[in-house]
Structure formats: C-alpha cells, structure tokens
Amino acid sequence: MGFAKRLFVDFFYFLQSCKSYRQARRFVYNFLENERSKAKKYFDLFMMFLILVSVVTLIREVKHPVDESFLFFNYYVISIIFFIEYLLRLWVVSSVSDVIVSRYENDVATGQEFRFFMACREVAALKLRHIFSLKAIIDLVAILPFFHQLRLLRIFTLFRVFKLFRYAKTFQTFASVFRAKRFEFITLFIFSSIVIVISSVLIYVMEANNPASPVNTLFEAFYWSIVTIATVGYGDIVPITEGGRIVAVFVIVAGIAVLAFTTSLVVSAFNEKLDEVRETKILNNLTSKKRYYILCGYENIAKEVAKKLSKSEHGVLILDEDAHRIEEARKEGFEALNYDPGSIESYHKLRLDLHAQVKAVLCLRESDVENVYTALTVRAISKDIFILSLLNQHANRKKLEFAGANEILYDKEIVGMVSREFIGQPVAFEAIHALRSEYSYINIEEVVLTQRILERFATVGELHATRFRVVLLGIYKKEHERFYFNPIDSTFLEEGDCLLLIANTVFIEEFVKYLNKR
Amino acid sequence: MQRTNGLIFGYNDYAKEIARNIDKKYKRVTLFALKGEEHAAEESKYPLCFFDLSDEWEELQKEYDMAQTVAFCALEDDAQNIFLTISLRATFKELTIVALAKSKESGNKLMMAGADKVIPLVQTTADMIVDLLERPVASNILHGILYEKSNLKIVQIEVQDENYFHGQYPADIDWSRNHGIIVLSVIHQGKAGEFIYSSKAKHHVITRGDIFVVVGYDEDLKAFEKLIGSRMA
C-alpha cells in the first residue's frame, strides 16, 4: 500500500479512536438526531422559533418597512445557522471513518489491496443519499433566502416552514399516516385525475363553440372541472348548454364520492395509527422519568397495585398482551403498552435501562404459568433486577423460585394469616392495619440516615424523637441486616441506617425536616 | 375475645389456608363444603360437613356455643357469600362472622349483611405488595411482629391496677426506658383506639380497663403485664 493510502487509513483509524472527536460527534448527534435527548427538544424549539421569525418578517415586509438589523438577522444570521445545521447533519448522518476502516479491514481480511476509490465511492453514496433526501433538500432551500437580493429567492423564506416537519413530531405523525395509506391515496388520485381530464375535455367540447358560454379555452374547462369536483363551485364559470350541464351533474356526483372517500380514508388512517402514536408517546415519555415499576398483567390485583403505586414517586408502566385490558389501563390514566411481558423483545422495545430505570418487575397475572414465564424472561435479561410475583396455586411456589422471583406472595396464605390475627388480637391487628393504611393519619415511615443527618446526630439519644411526638420503633442496620428494636440512647447512628418512625404524618414530616436542617 | 370454635364455610384454597392458620388457636375447627363438592370429604384434614344455602342453621346451636364461635364465610361466589352471611346473622346474633370479599362493592354488602369483619381479598394482597416495594423495612418488621415471625410481639394489655400509674397521662411515661416496650395506642373504655401521642390520649388519665397496644420482647411484655394487669390474647 502506498504512503498516501497508508496515511489516509491511519488518519481515519486515529479519528475512530480519538475520544474527543467521538465525543464531539456524539454531542452533535444528540442535538440534531437523538430523539431521546433532551438537548434535541430544546434545539428543535429554537429552530421552530427561527422559522416563525422568518415567516413573520416576510409577511411584515410586504406592506411595512422592516428594521434593517432585523432583516440582517433574518436573511444572514438565520441562514447561516441553517447552513451550519445543514453541514453538521451531513457530518453526523454517517461516519466516514467507520466506512473507510471497515472497507480497509475487509480488503485486508480477503487478502486484497486496499481499494481506495471503492471506499470513497461508498462514502460518497452515503452522503449523497442524505443530500438528495427530501428533508435535506428542504434544509438547503431554507438557506436560499441568504441570496435575497434575487427577489425570487426571497420567497424561499416560506419554504422554511417545511423545515417544521423535521422539528415537530406531530407533522411527522401526520406524514406517516399518509404514507401508511399511500396505495389508497394514489388510487383516489388516479380516479380523480381521470374524472377531471375526461370532464374537462367533455365540457370543452360541449361549451367552447357556444359564444355565450364562459368556457372558451381548455384551461378554463380544466379549472371548472377541478372547482366542481372539489365541491367548491365558485360559480365564475358555469355550463350553459344542455350537454355541459349533464357533464356537470356527473362531475358533481363524482366530486361527492371523492370527498366522502377521502374523508373516510383519512379518518381510518388516523384510527389505525392512533395506537402506534400513543405507544410512541409513552415510549418517549419513559425516558424522562427516573425509575419505574413494570407491572406485568392488568387484572384484579394488578389494578389495585397500579392505583396505589401511582401515588409513589416512581412511575408505573403496565405491560399486557390483552388489548382490552390495556385499553382499560389507559382509561384509568396509566402508561400501558400492549406488549407481551413474557417476550424479551418487549423489554428491548422499551429502550429502558433495566438496571438503572426499573425498580421492580411485578408478575401479577392470575395464572402461575404466565408469571413463571414472565419471571424467567426478565431474569434472562437481568440477573439483578427485583422480581415480585403473585402465586396462585401453592404447588407452584418452587417453580416461581426457580424462575428467579425474589419475592413471592400467595394471597390465600395472606388471608389465612390475617384471619388468624384478627381473631386472636383484634385491637393489635387494627393498630398495625391502621399504620399500614394510607387513609390513617398515623403512619409508619422509613427514614434513611444520610451523611447530612449524621453531621448533626451521632447517637439515638441526640435525635430527641419524643420531643416531636414521634415513636422510634427501632433502627434497621443495613450493614448487619438486623433490626434493633427500641434502641438505647447511646446507640451509634451510621450512614444507610433506616429509622422506623411511627407518628402522625405531619409530626414525621416536621421531624424529618429537623433532621435535615443544617 | 378468645373463641373456641371455628366454622369455615366453603371448600377452597382460602378456606384451607384459614383452617391451617387457626387450628392451633381453636379447640374445634370444622369445614363446611357446599353440597355437590363431595370430593372434599376425601381430601379434607379437618372435620367436614356439607350444607346447602337453603339450610336452616338452628341445628348448629346444639353443637356449638355461638358466643364462643367464629364463622368464616369463604365461598368463592360473592353473591352466595353474602347470602350465607345474612342467613347466619339472621339466625345467630352473637356469632362473630368474618367474610371474604372479592371487591369493594361486595365488601360493603357483606358489612350490611352483618359481617363483623370483611377481608377484602384484592385490597389486602395489593396493600402487602405495595408495602413490600415502598416500605420494605417497615413492612418486614410489621409482618414479623404481627404474624409472630420474629421475637418481637404485639399484644393488648388491659390495665387492672391503675394505682401503679398514679393518675399519669400515657404520653408522660417513658415506656421504652422504664419498661423496654413501646406503647403504640391506648383504648379507653368504650372508645376508639388513639395513638399514644394524640391529643385525646394526652388528656386522658390512665384508668382501670384501659387497653394498651404494646410492642416488645416477650420477657419485657410479661414483666409489664405483671405490673399493670393481664395480657389479652
């Protein structure tokens, strides 16, 4: 391989391994293309604002004088911003270094000489594909008002509006609806075109020779046909011959049919797309929240759990393969997806980092078969994620344990224990039940000790919980995994310890504020 | 409120779990299966009777002292459960009835039908799940205390000797330092339970007949019990 080629390949190897280059590229990519990036949202809003400024200036300029500096901003600054954006998109849309390095390694692996021109052709093909894409053409046209001295090019400011398609998701959805029904729309277009052409020719033939008729040219006939088939009917051109009026009747009937067909087509397309739109919206929203509980199934117990968990600081996401149940969950205001919780693909589609963003997966189907399957699926994806499962038949407990569930709840056993305690110690039972109940004013709360709290309090005695009318039931020492009931005053507090406090909710809040005060 | 007989109506997993949990606390536990569930006779570990919802229940009085009996209505069908509850209540005023409800709506109906306690199946399980997730430490500790899975216990203690307190208020006593226990709430005679630091509890002098809900280790509880009265369980 020649020296120049060697240098060329080395340069791209360098780029590929250069951390700052990759970081810069990633940064630009997040701004321009990454749908999950917050930066892109702000960037899109900024660009939409610039477009708005451009259009307002164009309208204002028609009849009123506009300040020179404002025009300068409109024609030069905005155009330059758009141009920089155009170049940056061209840069990040595909990686030149990846293509060159991959081609080089391919050639070396197959024992060939590095095909420099082939590599350049691949790069050019990728970039040209982008340049000739509709979005890139619109981007380019939007820059043209820079040459506003040519009056015609000034009108291109209006084309900047088309750039909104790039920034506003609603427009993209709208476009995708039409894409989905492309075949039907093409059929409708062909039908309408045929009707327009035939009726134009017919009306011309019928009317053109009549001196009293307003239809004198083929263009006028064509104009009349379009106005009539669109059911607009300005009335500036009307047929006066009998033949022309018969043609008009047919065109009017065809127009009604075209209008009805178009309306039903658009409505049905939107209906079909609605689920997809909702799904995309939920998936996009997922990234903004911090951590999630994933509820697999939306049956009786799951409904109640979802309702209660919705009050927590974490998000709730429901997955169920049954469309009716998902619809029900959505009506209740939950983020719900019609995904099979037993399929690995469902979790990939979520684009969630299961380790960082999922607090727990809850298998809440009323079928042990489904719960075992889901638990096994989730465990296959992540070994660390917390899985809680409902057990419906006692005989299946071991299967759920084997599938990897961390916590198993057998509702019949719970009912048995509740019955026993209620009958044995009804007052104590009611007291504990009240502590657990969200409707009771007395509550039990966990307060985890942080470094900030420990700066002021070293021992239990220093907390002075009774002064705040708070009962300190005990301390759970995380390090020893042990609960110390009613700890003595000299007990040392450590970071991560969990205080169990019982009191009126307001008193607990006051006490926690006091603990965190500097 | 110690009872001696437990009558469990319905032959299903709920009924079996109730029987398993209460059989050590009751002298006599009897299961009642609906007629048509004859297979239950071969499986049941407990004495089993068959019944029909149209049965007259007076017969039961010959065998059980109703004041000392608790009936668990655990039929799978909510409508049948409500009918059974209302039949038992109409026949026995002094019988304690605990009924299982699948929904909030049937829970309300069961209370109207005369049940003393309704266990809402869905809500109870959901509460447990949410507690485990949101307050894992508190949930485990309370679970251990309530269901006797730890050395800590929760008991109700009735004050027999009010002289010990010399007219003190519940919130004025340092229970944890003096007795090694924690008093959660206090029930004054004929009134509802109040949290130990509530305003009502703070203005009520401890008198004979008051009931304390106390958490502690067995030895401390026994010592405290000796001081002030008898343990109720």
| Closest Cβ–Cβ partner in B1, B20, B137 for A476 | B137
Per residue in A489-508, pLDDT tens? 888 888 888 998 888 888 88
Written as one letter, the residue type at B69 is T
Least Cα separation, residue B56 to chain A (angstroms): 26
Tell the residue number behind the tokens 């205080």, with chain if given.
A499
Residues in contact with A482: Cβ distance below 8 Å, sequence separation at least 6, in sequence order = A476
Is the pLDDT score of A85 beyond 70? yes
Residue B77 in contact with residue B11, Cβ under 8 Å? no
pTM, two decimals, is 0.68
Question: With 50 as the cut, is the pLDDT of residue B38 above it?
Answer: yes
Q: Across the interface, do A415 and B20 touch by the CB < 8 Å criterion?
A: no
Model confidence band, residue A225 (pLDDT cutoffs 50, 70, 90):
very high
For the ranges A66-70, A185-189, B82-86, the lowest mean pLDDT is seen at A66-70
B68 touches chain A (CB under 8 A): no
Per-residue pLDDT at A190 exceeds 70: yes
Q: Predicted confidence band at A324 (pLDDT cuts at 50, 70, 90)?
A: very high
Give me the sign of the Cα torsion angle A388, A389, A395, A398: negative
Per-residue confidence (pLDDT) for residue A439, from 0 to 100: 57
More confident residue, A433 or B27: B27
Bridge partners (DSSP) listed for residue B159: B229
Q: Contacts of residue B25 in chain A, CB cutoff 8 Å?
A: 420, 423-424
Give Cα A402 to chain centroid, integer Å: 35
Give the confidence band of B233 by pLDDT, cuts at 50, 70, 90: very low
Q: Which of A53, A60, A273 is nearest to A177 (CA)?
A: A273
Choose between A125 and A276: higher pLDDT. Answer: A125
**For B152-187, what is each residue's pLDDT tens digit?**
888 888 888 777 777 777 777 777 777 888 888 777
Whether B129 contacts chain A with CB within 8 A: yes
Order of strands, edge to edge, in the sheet holding B152-159? Answer: B193-195, B182-187, B211-217, B152-159, B229-232
Residue B191: the pLDDT is 64
Q: What is the pLDDT of residue A40?
A: 85
- Cross-chain Cβ contact A416/B155 below 8 Å: no
Residue B225: its chain A contacts at CB < 8 A? none
In this prediction, residue A518 carries a pLDDT of 65
Share of chain A above pLDDT 90, in %: 29
For A373-403, write each residue's pLDDT tens digit: 999 999 999 888 999 999 999 899 999 999 9
Task: Inspect the interface and report whether the beta carbons of B14 and A416 lie closer than 8 Å.
Answer: yes
pLDDT interval class at A39 (50, 70, 90)? confident
If you ran DSSP here, which 8-state letter would residue A398 be given? Answer: H
